[in-house]
Amino acid sequence: MFFSFLLVFTIQISYMTLYTMRMIFMMRGLRYAAAGISFAEVGVYLIGLGIVLNNLEDPWNLFAYCAGFASGILVGSKIEERLALGYVTVKVIAPSPDDPNERPDFHLADELRKAGFGVTSWLGQGRDGKRLVMEILTKRTNQAKLMELIITWEPRAFVISHEPSSFKGGFWVKQIRP
């Protein structure tokens, strides 16, 4: 009985982890990787479902199936978080470097460029005056480093990020897709 519970739970974690990864790969446009994962996913799913359907008299198998399902989603999302597939666009709105009350020798966009990030910047107008607006496209694996630098160098900055769905033009395109 306990072995059956553990087996179903483990199979469901495996199935949902594969399912989550497949969906993420599909959303990122990695169709062939998603197709390969789906082959294993369906096999694992059928084994787990078969065990539960052949042992319907044991409610613990059903519980293991449900608990493994939920746990698999968590495991899959944690794996994806570590893989950090794809790119992110970060928009930063900071006090203007032209503001006489600010540090005249410091320009956040230049510092981010020195750190290896591609930055497009322009001056904008906010409620409280001029603002430096920056757009930065980077790999998701570099997002934490970028956020750390922004917070360290300009803790008052407003920062928002999103995942772009396509790229066209610019120097990044040559680096992203050969």
Q: Total domain count for the chain?
A: 2
Q: Is the dihedral of CA 143, 147, 149, 150 positive or negative?
A: positive
Domain that holds residue 45: 2-83
For the beta sheet containing 119-126, the strands, ordered from the edge strand earlier in sequence to the opposite edge, are 119-126, 129-139, 87-95, 158-162
For the domain that residue 157 is a member of, what is the CATH number? 3.30.70.120
Estimate the crossing angle of helix 31-54 against helix 59-83, to 10 degrees: 160
- Two tokens, residue 76: 């899959």
Same domain, 48 and 108: no
Same domain, 129 and 105: yes
Indicate yes or no: pTM above 0.85.
no
Q: Each residue of 28-85: pLDDT tens digit? A: 788 999 999 999 999 999 998 888 888 888 888 889 888 998 998 899 888 888 877 7
Residues 159 and 92: beta-carbon distance below 8 Å: yes
